[in-house]
C-alpha cells in the first residue's frame, strides 16, 4: 500500500527544486530568480499591522474577511475600474491569490471538467486544477509571442471545457493582452458558457497602456472569478493577503471551502491590506516607474547580447529565448550560476512553451541588475562565438 | 523633475546608451538634452560621494562643520551680498539661506579642527554684518545625498521563488 493519494502521487514535483538547492548552497549570488518585489513594504502599511497587534486584534475575523477591508476594496474597484461588487456577498478575502485560485477551482470543477490554461504559466495553476479533479488542457502561447490567440483558444474548447485560466500581466512572460484580444476571448467565454478565473495580481504593473480587468468586459462580470491583491504592488508577499470578487453563487461556494480550510485570512495582514487599499496608491506609482526603467534596461541589454526577448509589457519578468546558444534552459541556468554566480529560472519550470527560454526577474536594484547583465554578456561571449545579429536570425519572429 | 535628471542625480556616471535605453530615447537626444541642461545651468556639475569614515588611517580625514550664521540683511541686497562674501571662501562647501532661528547654514570643510576654528575666528566672525555663529562638528555620516553609508539592508527574500 502507498500512503500517498494517487492525485498527489501523480503531481510532478516543482521544476526548480534541484536548482533551488544548488543556488542555496552558493554565496554571493546575484539572483534574477526572485518572484517578489525587492522594495520593502511601505512603512505606513507595516505600521498598520503592528498597531493592530498592539491594539489586541489577534482574533479570527469573519470568514469572508473584515467588513472594512471588503468595503474599502469595493470602493477601490469602483473608483479605479467602475467595477461594482457587493462587499457583503461578492467578495472574499483570501490568504494570497494562490488560495483564491485553489478555492475557485475546487468550487467549480467536477471530475473530468476541462480547464484550459495558457502556458508558460505560473507554477501552481496546473497542479491546482489537477488536485481539484480537473483535466488540464495547456495552450502553448510561445509561437505567438506569448499572446493568447483567440482562434487557437477556440480550437481547444470542447463540450467538456468549463474553465479558462487567465493571468495578464503574466508570470513568467511579462505578456499583457490588448483590449481587442480580450474582447475576442470574452466572446468565446460567453458563447461556450465558460467561467474565467482571472489572476490579475500584476495589474498595477502594466507599463504600456491601461490594464483592462476581465470583468469590465461586456457580459464577463457574471462569468469571472477576479483574483487580485497587494502582494506585488505594495511589496507585501509574505503577508499572504489577497481577494476574490465574483458572482455571489461562486463566491459563496468558495467561502464554504475557505471556512473549513483557512477559516479566515490572517488578521494582522488584513489590517495591513486596509491601509494598502486606502493609502498605497502613491508608492505603487513610484515603484512602477522604477520597474519600468529596469525593464527597459533589461530588455535592451538582453537583445543586445543576442538573447531574443519581446518587450515585456507588465509584471517584473523578462522571458528571453536562449535558443541561439544551443543550450537547454536547465543547463544554461546551471552554467550561468556556477560560472558567473547569476541565478535565473529555467523556462521549463513554467510548462509547455518554456523549453527554449529562461525567466529573468528584474525585481532587483538597478546597479545589481546592470552588473548581472554584464556578467550574462560575458558568459555568453565565453559560451557562444555567435554574433548577436546572427543569433537573432533563425529566431521565431 | 525630468526622469533624465533623476537618473543622473542618482548616478552621474550613467552612460548615454544606458540612459537612452532606460528612458526609451535616442542616444543623440540624450546627449543633446544633457548639453542643454549643462549650458543653461540646470546641471551644475558632477561629483563623487565619498564616505570619509571609510578612508584608511594613513589618509587624513577632513573635518566637516555645519555652521549656523546670523547676519544683518542690507537695504538693497538683502542677504545675497553678505552671503557671497562668505561663500566665496573655498572652505565653504555649501551655503544655504534658511528660515528659522538663523539665516545662513554653511557646510565648511578643512584639513583639521584648527583650520575650521581659524576660519571662524579670522574670516567669518569678524565680518561686519555677521553677529552670531554656532558651529556643529560632524562626528559621523550615516547618509549623504540619498546614499546610505551603512551597507545596504539585508535582502530577506529567498534567492529563487516562483
Q: How far is Cα A238 from Cα A316, in angstroms, rounded to an integer?
A: 18
Using the beta-carbon criterion (under 8 Å), do A36 and B162 form an inter-chain contact? no
Query: What value does the mean pLDDT take over residues B141-153?
Result: 82
The whole-number pLDDT of residue A394 equals 47
Of B40, B38, B59, B37, which Cα lies nearest the Cα of B50?
A: B59
Phi (first) and psi of residue A45, to 5 degrees: -75, -40
* Confidence tier at A173 by pLDDT (50, 70, 90): very high
The whole-number pLDDT of residue B59 equals 78
All three cell numbers of A320: 528571453
Of A314, A228, A226, A236, which Cα lies nearest the Cα of A272?
A: A236
Question: Grid cell 530568480 — which residue?
Answer: A33
Q: How far is Cα A205 from Cα B30, in angstroms, rounded to an integer?
A: 26
- CB < 8 Å to A19, chain B: 160
Using the beta-carbon criterion (under 8 Å), do A296 and B18 form an inter-chain contact? no
For A297, the closest of B18, B157, B158 (CB atoms) is B18
Using the beta-carbon criterion (under 8 Å), do A34 and B153 form an inter-chain contact? no
* Confidence tier at A397 by pLDDT (50, 70, 90): very low
pLDDT digits 0-9 by tens, B72-99:
999 988 999 999 999 999 999 999 999 9
- CB < 8 Å to B21, chain A: 296-297, 299-301
All three cell numbers of A336: 550561468
Paired strand residues for B105: B68, B96
Q: Does A236 touch chain B (CB under 8 A)?
A: no
Any idea what the Cα angle at residue A91 is, between residues A35 and A247, rounded to 5°? Answer: 110
pLDDT digits 0-9 by tens, A190-236:
999 999 999 999 999 999 999 999 999 999 999 999 999 988 989 99
Q: Does B159 touch chain A (CB under 8 A)?
A: yes
For A297, the closest of B3, B22, B158 (CB atoms) is B22
pLDDT digits 0-9 by tens, A317-329:
999 999 999 999 9
Q: Does B1 touch chain A (CB under 8 A)?
A: no
The whole-number pLDDT of residue A179 equals 93
More confident residue, A24 or A309: A309
Nearest CA in chain B to A124: B162
Using the beta-carbon criterion (under 8 Å), do A35 and B162 form an inter-chain contact? yes
Using the beta-carbon criterion (under 8 Å), do A23 and B153 form an inter-chain contact? no
- CB < 8 Å to B3, chain A: 289, 293
All three cell numbers of A75: 470602493
The whole-number pLDDT of residue A136 equals 98
Phi (first) and psi of residue B93, to 5 degrees: -90, -35
Quick check: A141 pLDDT over 90? Answer: yes
For A29, the closest of B7, B24, B159 (CB atoms) is B159
- Gap from A123 CA to chain B (nearest CA, Å): 7
Q: Full-prediction pTM beyond 0.95?
A: no
The interface predicted TM-score (ipTM) is 0.82
Identify the three-state secondary structure at position A389: helix
Amino acid at each position: 500500500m502507498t500512503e500517498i493519494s494517487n492525485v498527489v502521487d501523480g503531481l510532478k514535483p516543482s521544476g526548480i527544486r534541484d536548482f533551488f538547492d544548488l543556488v542555496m548552497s552558493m554565496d554571493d549570488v546575484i539572483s534574477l530568480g526572485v518572484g517578489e518585489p525587492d522594495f520593502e513594504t511601505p512603512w505606513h502599511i507595516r505600521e498598520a499591522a503592528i498597531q493592530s497587534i498592539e491594539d489586541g486584534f489577534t482574533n479570527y475575523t469573519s470568514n469572508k474577511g473584515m467588513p472594512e477591508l471588503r468595503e474599502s476594496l469595493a470602493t477601490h474597484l469602483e473608483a479605479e475600474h467602475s467595477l461594482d461588487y457587493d462587499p457583503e456577498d461578492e467578495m472574499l478575502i483570501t490568504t494570497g491569490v494562490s488560495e483564491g485560485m485553489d478555492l475557485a477551482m475546487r468550487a467549480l470543477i467536477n471530475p473530468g471538467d476541462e480547464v484550459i490554461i495558457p502556458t508558460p504559466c505560473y507554477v501552481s495553476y496546473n497542479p491546482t486544477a489537477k488536485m481539484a479533479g480537473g483535466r488540464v488542457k495547456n495552450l502553448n502561447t510561445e509561437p505567438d509571442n506569448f499572446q493568447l490567440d483567440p482562434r487557437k483558444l477556440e480550437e481547444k474548447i470542447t463540450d467538456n471545457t468549463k474553465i479558462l485560466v487567465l493571468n495578464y500581466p503574466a508570470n513568467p512572460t511579462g505578456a499583457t493582452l490588448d483590449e481587442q484580444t480580450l474582447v475576442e476571448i470574452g466572446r468565446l467565454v460567453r458563447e461556450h458558457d465558460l467561467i474565467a478565473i482571472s489572476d490579475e495580481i500584476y495589474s498595477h504593473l502594466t507599463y504600456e497602456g491601461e490594464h483592462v480587468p476581465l470583468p469590465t468586459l461586456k457580459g464577463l462580470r457574471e462569468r469571472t472569478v477576479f483574483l487580485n491583491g497587494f502582494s506585488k504592488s505594495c511589496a507585501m508577499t509574505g503577508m499572504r493577503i489577497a481577494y476574490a470578487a465574483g458572482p455571489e453563487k461562486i463566491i459563496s461556494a468558495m467561502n464554504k471551502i475557505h471556512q473549513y480550510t483557512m477559516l479566515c485570512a490572517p488578521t494582522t495582514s488584513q489590517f495591513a491590506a486596509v491601509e494598502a487599499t486606502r493609502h498605497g496608491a502613491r508608492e505603487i506609482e513610484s515603484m512602477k516607474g522604477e520597474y519600468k526603467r529596469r525593464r527597459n534596461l533589461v530588455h535592451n541589454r538582453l537583445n543586445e547580447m543576442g538573447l531574443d526577448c519581446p518587450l515585456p509589457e507588465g509584471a517584473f519578468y523578462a522571458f528571453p529565448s536562449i535558443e541561439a546558444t544551443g543550450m537547454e534552459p536547465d543547463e544554461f541556468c546551471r552554467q550561468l550560476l556556477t560560472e558567473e554566480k547569476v541565478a535565473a529560472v529555467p523556462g521549463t519550470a513554467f510548462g509547455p512553451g518554456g523549453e527554449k527560454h529562461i525567466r529573468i526577474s528584474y525585481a532587483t536594484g538597478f546597479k545589481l541588475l546592470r552588473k548581472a547583465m554584464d556578467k550574462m554578456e560575458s558568459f555568453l561571449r565565453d559560451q557562444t562565438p555567435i554574433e548577436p545579429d546572427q543569433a537573432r536570425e533563425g529566431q521565431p519572429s | 523633475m525630468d526622469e533624465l535628471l533623476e537618473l543622473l542625480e542618482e548616478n552621474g556616471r550613467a552612460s548615454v546608451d544606458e540612459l537612452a535605453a532606460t528612458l526609451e530615447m535616442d542616444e543623440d537626444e540624450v546627449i543633446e538634452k544633457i548639453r542643454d541642461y549643462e549650458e543653461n545651468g540646470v546641471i551644475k556639475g558632477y561629483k563623487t560621494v565619498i564616505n570619509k569614515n571609510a578612508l584608511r588611517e594613513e589618509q587624513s580625514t577632513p573635518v566637516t562643520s555645519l555652521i549656523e550664521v546670523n547676519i544683518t540683511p542690507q537695504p538693497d541686497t538683502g542677504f545675497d551680498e553678505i552671503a557671497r562674501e562668505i561663500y566665496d571662501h573655498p572652505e565653504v562647501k555649501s551655503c544655504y539661506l534658511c528660515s528659522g532661528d538663523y539665516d545662513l547654514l554653511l557646510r565648511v570643510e578643512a584639513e583639521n579642527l584648527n583650520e575650521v576654528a581659524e576660519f571662524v575666528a579670522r574670516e567669518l566672525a569678524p565680518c561686519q554684518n555677521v553677529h552670531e555663529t554656532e558651529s556643529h562638528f560632524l562626528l559621523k555620516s550615516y547618509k549623504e545625498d540619498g546614499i546610505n553609508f551603512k551597507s545596504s539592508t539585508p535582502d530577506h527574500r529567498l534567492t529563487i521563488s516562483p
